[in-house]
Amino acid sequence: MTLVPSAISTDGQSDETIRQLLTTTRRIALVGASAKPWRASHGVMRFLLGHGFDVTPVNPELAGQSLHGRIVVARLADAAPLDMVDVFRNSSHVGALVDEAIRLGANSIWMQLGVVDQEAASRARAAGLTVVMDRCPVIEDRRLHLFGASSSAIEAASH
């Protein structure tokens, strides 16, 4: 079997790294969680929960409210302990989140579509975190067929 290399990505991560990350991560802090069903963070959170991830939504404006049955926390530190920080914030906010993720002992930081901060990514990598940028786990699941046929149904329901 010949493996075809994946297209060059912003983060330089291989398909195998993405596959490993999404199949071994359990606790995720989703920063920028939204109660608005049309927002990507809302659908991605539902997708992650539907696939067994333990997701804590983070949004100071929604703190204390329930989102997909999970209580929203105000700060990233309130979501610890965690494996991954999933960022649905403007790139200008990533640096502080990366520094906090490092301090809290996260294993990875996932920056959603359109979210890129090379300087923060370098700091995270230097601290031993796996860094994913400008990607969506729902899209990666569809592309890599990680979670099976049920993924399509969950994804369709989230959009």
- The domain spanning residue 126 has which CATH number? 3.40.50.720
Residue 7 lies in a domain: no
> Mind listing the pLDDT tens digit for each residue in 55-101?
999 999 999 999 999 999 999 999 999 999 999 999 999 999 999 99
Q: What is the phi/psi pair of residue 131, to 5°?
A: -120, 125
Strands 66-67 and 70-71, by their bridges, are antiparallel
Domain of 21, in residue numbers: 15-158
Phi/psi-derived region of residue 114, left when phi > 0, alpha when psi is between -120 and 50, beta in every other case:
left
With a cut of 50, say whether residue 155 has pLDDT above it.
no
* Secondary structure class of 146 (helix, strand, coil): coil
Q: Which of 88, 87, 82 is nearest to 103 (CA)?
A: 82
Number of domains, the chain: 1
